Structure 1
Amino acid sequence: MTIAGDTWGDPNGPLVVLQHGGGQTRHAWKGAGETLGNAGYHAVAFDARGHGDSDWAPPDEYGHDYMVGDLIAVVEALGGQQPILVGASMGGGVSLVAIGEKHLEAAALVLVDMAPRIEPEGSRRIREFMSQKPEGFDTLEEVAEAIANYLPHRPRPRKLDGLAKNVRLGADGKYHWHWDPARRFGRSNENEAEYRARLHESANHLDLPTLLVRGGLSDVLSEEGAQSFLEQCPHAEYVNVGNAAHMVAGDRNDIFATSVIEFLHRIVPVR
């Protein structure tokens, strides 16, 4: 299994591992990675298996345990001791399980628009977005239209070249989403209710500095869901980013990165 990643900053600085959400790639962290690197941290973002430029796995090897194993392998390969884990949505779940079940010892945890309790309607919209056009898109304009329909609060890009990171050009001449379609149908034997219960139990065992960042416009993590997590983990800090939806870092990277760096400077300062 080959995992593709990008790095920013001083390799001798505190290691910050950035894990994207389902249907995203490491490129979602570009702005945050650059900001963290400029602040003295060693920021690393990698494509989850079945996403972006990382290898695809057999259909029955997309479960959360496999992804926790990938995270551990990446941290070990980079020689990181007690890394800082920053995870959005799917990546946040991987981070929460890795820490809460004691698979990995971390210095701090940042959950981005992710908590054990999420809104079913928001989760359904994500699944529908990822399932559309299985036969592929004819043009990048069609790709841009699909993204704009899902993210109406974002301005549409003037140039479509950047969308090439979100799709792959198949041998059929059509543009397909960059993720393995088998991932959605063979992730694990664990159903959604069991997974949410697993996340809840993992959160019960959090004893490290934790920051929850919610997008103020998010339909996935509601304010009620955020407050439920904060009641469960009263030591956690909380930032609500206005004018940002589920993909917080992409919507308002300026506020997101500033909030994370302010938190890390207090918890894991750069030497």
Structure 2
Amino acid sequence: MIGRRMTFRGVEGNALAATVWGEGGRPVLLLHGGGQTRQAFAGAARRIAEAGYVAVTVDQRGHGESEWVASGRYGFEEFGRDAAALAEQAARQWGETPVAVGASLGGIASLLALGHEPGVFAGLVLVDVTPRIDPEGVGRILGFMKSHVREGFATVEEAADAVAAYLPHRPRPKSLEGLKKNLRLGEDGRWRWHWDPRFMEDHAGPERGAALQEELIRATRSLAVPSLLVRGGASELVREEHAREYLALARDAEMADIAGARHMVAGDRNDVFTQAILDFLTRRFPTRKVA
């Protein structure tokens, strides 16, 4: 199955690049984590589409092929408003309210969107993110994201070395083509991560203050749609007590613990991760499979 390119619009009219798989069925909107691109969900999207849904992967504002916003606004609120705008456009396009699958930043954005507009998504899948997360784990992730943000890398191989040092548990890929999609080549001949550097300046990464945490808790308490928390069993962000708290706060929530996966669950155990999402979708949002 081959995906097709589409462009959506965020709340500032900012272009949001997307890939769509599938022709009919309920749309499933997949939003990546901070510093990633829509490529992180490509494998999962294909399988979701094969099960009879329309899978939509989106580069969030300032990431991948999406527009760098002129305002420079990369706060959580803006990502949440973009998520709501995406949901409304997807509902008009395919005639059904979408289900959101959000990893880290994408999960925060989806939860905030539901907090402000309770019916904007029909269901929610949070990928290794909860209202309360481990601050030390956040610090390690931010440290990696901030490293080389300005100077970049001389080669793709140098970027691969940095990723391997940060993710020693993950086998190093034989091909660097996948990594190259997460990099952009500057006019100076150096490779940099495929996101607007201003993203880190506007606290748009996983780091959250007390005010945001309370807003996410309020949004969780008010959830009126079924939700699934997909937690990496070895997550450096979401502890077991954080997961239990989420399940206690949300009205209709369940959890899938992915053994051996860390925060980047889809990259660590993609097959198991995708199956957990498909099990949730087919039980809670059954759809007619389109040939």
TM category (shorter chain) comes to: over 0.9
Q: Counterparts in 2 of 1:238-257, with a 5 A limit?
A: 238-257=255-274
Are residue 62 (structure 1) and residue 74 (structure 2) matched?
yes
How much does 1:234 deviate?
5.1
Are residue 45 (structure 1) and residue 63 (structure 2) matched?
no
Question: In structure 2, which of residues 164, 170, 173 is the aligned counterpart of residue 154 of structure 1?
Answer: 170
How much does 1:59 deviate?
5.5
Percent of aligned pairs with the same amino acid: 47
* Alignment match, 1:24: 36
* Alignment match, 1:5: 18
Aligned residue pairs: how many? Answer: 269
TM-score, normalised via structure 2 length: 0.88
How much does 1:73 deviate?
2.7
| AA in 2 matched with 1:47 | D
How much does 1:77 deviate?
2.9
Are residue 227 (structure 1) and residue 225 (structure 2) matched?
no
SS of 1:4's equivalent in the other structure is strand
Are residue 83 (structure 1) and residue 98 (structure 2) matched?
yes
* Alignment match, 2:189: 173
Give the aligned CA root-mean-square deviation in angstroms: 1.6
TM-score, normalised via structure 1 length: 0.94
| Alpha-carbon contact 1:59-1:183 (below 8 Å) kept | no
Question: In structure 2, which of residues 256, 271, 282 is the aligned counterpart of residue 265 of structure 1?
Answer: 282
Higher deviation after alignment, 51-60 or 32-41: 51-60
Cα distance in 1 for partners of 2:71, 2:173 equals 34
| Alpha-carbon contact 2:80-2:108 (below 8 Å) kept | no
SS of 2:100's equivalent in the other structure is strand
Q: Counterparts in 2 of 1:134-149, with a 5 A limit?
A: 134-149=150-165
| Alpha-carbon contact 1:59-1:187 (below 8 Å) kept | no
Q: Which runs of 5+ in 1 are unaligned?
A: none
How much does 1:250 deviate?
1.6
Question: In structure 2, which of residues 179, 195, 201 is the aligned counterpart of residue 163 of structure 1?
Answer: 179
How much does 1:60 deviate?
4.2
SS of 1:105's equivalent in the other structure is coil
Q: Which runs of 5+ in 2 are unaligned?
A: 1-13
| Alpha-carbon contact 2:30-2:101 (below 8 Å) kept | yes
SS of 2:192's equivalent in the other structure is strand
| AA in 2 matched with 1:8 | W
* Alignment match, 1:213: 230
| Alpha-carbon contact 2:84-2:110 (below 8 Å) kept | no
Q: Deviations over 1:103-122 (max 9, x none)?
A: 65221111110100100011
| AA in 2 matched with 1:53 | E
Following TM superposition, where does structure 1 have runs of at least 4 consecutive aligned residues deviating by more than 4 angstroms?
Answer: none
* Alignment match, 2:140: 125
| Alpha-carbon contact 1:120-1:220 (below 8 Å) kept | yes
Higher deviation after alignment, 99-108 or 37-46: 99-108
Cα distance in 2 for partners of 1:262, 1:219 equals 25
- From the superposition, tell whether residues 233 and 98 of structure 1 become closer, same or farther in structure 2 (CA, over 3 Å): same
| AA in 2 matched with 1:169 | L
SS of 2:229's equivalent in the other structure is strand
- From the superposition, tell whether residues 181 and 47 of structure 1 become closer, same or farther in structure 2 (CA, over 3 Å): same
How much does 1:231 deviate?
1.6
* Alignment match, 2:8: none
Cα distance in 2 for partners of 1:221, 1:250 equals 17
Are residue 33 (structure 1) and residue 45 (structure 2) matched?
yes
| AA in 2 matched with 1:224 | E
- From the superposition, tell whether residues 191 and 144 of structure 1 become closer, same or farther in structure 2 (CA, over 3 Å): closer
How much does 1:65 deviate?
2.5
- From the superposition, tell whether residues 191 and 59 of structure 1 become closer, same or farther in structure 2 (CA, over 3 Å): farther
| Alpha-carbon contact 2:111-2:220 (below 8 Å) kept | yes
SS of 1:3's equivalent in the other structure is strand
Q: Deviations over 1:148-196 (max 9, x none)?
A: 12211110011222211111000010001111111111257x9622111
Q: Deviations over 1:4-51 (max 9, x none)?
A: 1111112x2111000000011000001110010100000001001111
Q: Counterparts in 2 of 1:178-217, with a 5 A limit?
A: 178-187=194-203, 192-217=209-234
